[in-house]
Amino acid sequence: MKWTRFFIPTAKEVPTDAVVPSHQLMLRAGMIRQVASGSYSYLPLGYRALRKVEAIIREEMTGAGAIELHMPALHPIEWWEQTGRVEAMGDVLLGLRGSQDDWRTRTVLGPTHEEVITEHARAYLNSYKQLPITLYQIQTKFRGEARPKSGVLRTREFDMKDAYSFHSKIEGKDGLNETYDRMYLAYCRIFSRCGLPYVPVQAESGPIGGDASHEFMVPTDAGEDFLVKSEDGSYAANLERAEVAPLPGTGGRGSEELKEIHTPGHATIEEVTTFLGCTPDRMIKTIIYKADEKPLIALVRGDHEVNEAKLARVAGVSGVEAAESDMIQEVTGANVGFAGPVGLENVRIITDQAVTIIKDAVTGANKTDYHLTGVNIGRDYEAKEVADIRNAVEGDLAPNGSPLSFLKCIEVGHVFKLGTKYSEAMEANYIDEDGKGKPLIMGCYGIGVNRIMASVIETCHDDNGIIWPASVAPFTVVICALDTREEEVVKTAEMIHDELEKAGVDVLLDDRDARPGFKFKDADLIGFPIRINVGKRGLADGVVEIKNRKTDQMDKIPPADAPVYVNKLVKALTPKADR
């Protein structure tokens, strides 16, 4: 392919509305163009890179035993109502506009495809003899993202590889575990082949559901998520899932007596600590939630935050939501901001471990405009249920005692053990060996295809531009013809191009009539792994220059030897993952 016959609209200036490197570089390299907020076109260079990512995914999915299909983006809302996810997804689930009886009002744009694949399963997977089976697709998804940002890292329209496995009770959890492990390893191979420095972590299942899951995270400052990792490398989880070791210390009675203090208008932690001259770690924060239509109280230290996923798991409920002011008033007898554990009765209270070691605590008095000081566990209130229900913070230790560190990251993949959540809701049953109907056991495995591409750029770039791994570069080799008016230069450049193309190498010939420095800057900006410089001076010395974009190593090779040399170099830079 010749540059002058391709479409590469590069730009020198950094776009003012682009903040993260991947967004800036994809725009400058002519790989994407925004159509609407959260929606992008992939221009030819970007589309080539995206398709290479997809090819790696397809190869590894096939190797893991998955079968490809293609499902529609338009879904009947009835299926989402059956699984209860219309409410769970909220504004993320996008519908079409129409009159009350119009078909559009009963249709949604799929943010994921659990409902559709489960419907197909209940239609076709009727016998244990058909199981296990894993089906996957690469399809466009739509989500009502409130604040799309960071280019293709957070969008309203994106490509996802989503796979779903189905199992019988005969293989049971062991069968699901086997497929889960196989997909987990396939994900490791995918991300390794794409050149990503990924970290698998324990994760919450969120609105997808299920009883176990792992996320695959890429550490980068452009990320909006956090992974929590132990110093010894034995433990890693996302922030929602991260467990912490108990804080040292014992509870019991302090030296102060219980005292009620008038704190008019001071309801927040900051207001109360300023007014009373205490520190947040001496306060007990009392948060009232609604779970299964009943109040549920969580106690955490004033400088900690409740981890709602942990709380729900400890409480044994599907989820929790902040209580309305009328429920708070009913439970505490006070306005919002003045709740505390002292005197609360006939309500379930779950206390974080860190609260149990506070002596002479400060907390709400369950009386508007009043707080209590000198609050001590065992004397003034009881902690009947104690658990880890808070977010990990700097200074915490992993469950094994190793110090925890926090890294910003991007989630690029997620695997789930769904169990029977969807099959029971949609009555997707199979007939077992005894002739009895049972719900299908499911697993779910997703990859953000666009995010892989952007994450590669976030982790593989320098001040000059992108540094593509050879496996996903839009073109692996660029040949810069430095003197296009010299017949020998053009002839040599075309010879090398044609030989490499015959060998199956993705190669681009920069045949533009432009200065060498201009071509070099574009080549570095786009990030071709290998650059071949063919110039009048080099040919006079009997060589062409071959530069490795990542290492900056420059080798001088006779033109006739260049195709074989570069072909070997490309193969060395594009390793296959072992299975």
Give the model confidence (pLDDT) of 440-489 as tens digits. Answer: 999 999 999 999 999 999 999 999 999 999 999 999 999 999 999 999 99
Please compute the mean of the pLDDT values over residues 370-390 and round it to a whole number.
Answer: 95
Please compute the mean of the pLDDT values over residues 111-132 and round it to a whole number.
Answer: 96
Enter the tokens of residue 473. 């570069």
The average confidence (pLDDT) of the chain is 94
- Distance between CA atoms of residues 377 and 299, nearest Å: 12
Predicted confidence band at 397 (pLDDT cuts at 50, 70, 90)? Answer: very high
pLDDT, one tens digit per residue, over 329-356 is: 999 999 999 999 999 999 999 999 999 9
- Distance between CA atoms of residues 351 and 48, nearest Å: 53
- Distance between CA atoms of residues 556 and 541, nearest Å: 10
3-class DSSP state for residue 492? helix
- Distance between CA atoms of residues 387 and 396, nearest Å: 15
Instruction: Give the residue ranges of DSSP H helices in 209-294.
Output: 269-276
Which sign, positive or negative, has the C-alpha torsion 290, 296, 297, 303? negative
DSSP code string of 509-576: EE--S--HHHHHHHHHHHT-SEEEEE-HHHHHTT-EEEEETTT--EEEE-GGGHHHHHHHHHHHHSPP
Left if phi > 0, otherwise alpha if psi is -120 to 50, otherwise beta: which for 273? alpha
Predicted confidence band at 319 (pLDDT cuts at 50, 70, 90)? Answer: confident
- Distance between CA atoms of residues 351 and 344, nearest Å: 13
Q: CA angle at residue 92 from 214 to 24, to 5 degrees?
A: 75
In the predicted structure, residue 570 carries a pLDDT above the cut 80: yes
Per 3-state DSSP, what percentage of the chain is helix, strand, and coil (rounded to 5)?
30, 30, 40
Q: What is the dihedral of CA 417, 420, 422, 428, to 10 degrees?
A: 130
pLDDT at 113: 97
pLDDT at 368: 97
Least confident piece of the model among 91-105, 164-178, 370-384, 531-545: 164-178
pLDDT at 212: 75
**8-state DSSP, 149:** B
Enter the tokens of residue 28. 């400058």
pLDDT at 240: 87
In the predicted structure, residue 165 carries a pLDDT above the cut 50: yes
pLDDT, one tens digit per residue, over 192-214 is: 999 999 999 988 765 544 567 89
More confident residue, 224 or 156: 156
- Determine what percent of the chain is predicted with pLDDT higher than 90: 89
In the predicted structure, residue 552 carries a pLDDT above the cut 80: yes
pLDDT, one tens digit per residue, over 43-92 is: 999 999 999 999 999 999 999 999 999 999 999 999 999 999 998 899 99
pLDDT at 252: 64
- Distance between CA atoms of residues 479 and 381, nearest Å: 76
**Closest-CA residue to 325 (of 368, 384, 277):** 368
- Three-state SS across 366-417? CCCCEEEEEECECCCECCCEEECCECCCCCCECCCCCEEEEEEEEEEEEEEE
In the predicted structure, residue 180 carries a pLDDT above the cut 60: yes
In the predicted structure, residue 253 carries a pLDDT above the cut 80: no
Q: Are the C-beta atoms of residues 230 and 236 closer than 8 Å to each other?
A: yes
Please compute the mean of the pLDDT values over residues 487-514 and round it to a whole number.
Answer: 97
Query: What is the phi/psi pair of residue 330, to 5°?
Result: -65, -40
Q: Domains (ranges, CATH) in the chain?
A: 17-70+114-242+406-457 (3.30.930.10), 259-387 (3.90.960.10), 475-573 (3.40.50.800)
pLDDT at 210: 53
Please compute the mean of the pLDDT values over residues 526-550 and round it to a whole number.
Answer: 97
Q: Are the C-beta atoms of residues 348 and 387 closer than 8 Å to each other?
A: no
- Distance between CA atoms of residues 473 and 55, nearest Å: 12
Q: Are the C-beta atoms of residues 341 and 349 closer than 8 Å to each other?
A: yes
- Distance between CA atoms of residues 492 and 44, nearest Å: 27
Give the residue carrying structure tokens 């060589």: 543
- Distance between CA atoms of residues 131 and 579, nearest Å: 23
Please compute the mean of the pLDDT values over residues 149-175 and round it to a whole number.
Answer: 89
Predicted confidence band at 578 (pLDDT cuts at 50, 70, 90)? Answer: low
- Distance between CA atoms of residues 459 and 453, nearest Å: 10
- Distance between CA atoms of residues 56 and 188, nearest Å: 12
Please compute the mean of the pLDDT values over residues 271-293 and round it to a whole number.
Answer: 96
pLDDT at 204: 73
pLDDT at 174: 66
pLDDT at 211: 62
- State which amino acid sits at residue 133: I
